[in-house]
Amino acid sequence: MVIDDSNTIRRSAEIFLMQAGCQVILAENGFDALAKIADHQPDVIFVDIMMPRLDGYQTCALIKKNGRHKATPVIMLSSKDSLFDRARGRMVGSDEYLTKPFSKDSLLKAVEAHLANASQQQSAA
């Protein structure tokens, strides 16, 4: 799932992920995303930090508070790359932080890493 208020970012991420064989769910904001997450159960969630009404930090915190989605990897997307922003992302439960503009490579590496972690955890359980 890709949550971003920028149509350009959503479409770029969608193209990169679909070329790699992923199914992609798009959301324009945090409220839209929360409704879609319940219906679709995404394996990995990318969320922009700077969004109106419900920002990425709030969206991530709400996703992680839900027991069904607590283990779903949430990767923050931001054009800001300060230590403070990264730390704040960790505090609300994000699993990784990618700086925009992201490359196809960095997006796919993040998906692969988190899907590999998820399958390792399931086989250990």
pLDDT in tens, 59-89: 999 999 988 999 999 999 998 878 888 899 9
Residue pair 43/23 in contact (Cβ under 8 Å)? The answer is: no
**Residue 92: what pLDDT?**
95
pLDDT digits (tens, 9 = 90+) for 7-37: 999 999 999 999 999 999 999 999 999 999 9
Q: For residues 64 and 62, what is the distance between their CA atoms, to the nearest angstrom?
A: 5
Asked if the model's pLDDT at residue 109 lies above 90, the reply is: yes
- Look up the CATH architecture of domain 2-124: 3-Layer(aba) Sandwich (3.40)
Residue whose C-alpha is closest to residue 35's, from 69, 7, 12: 69
Cα 81 versus chain centre, distance: 16
Q: Which residue has the higher pLDDT, 64 or 125?
A: 64
> What's the rounded mean pLDDT across residues 92-114?
93
Where do the structural domains in the chain lie, given as residue ranges? 2-124
Tokens found for residue 33: 């995303």
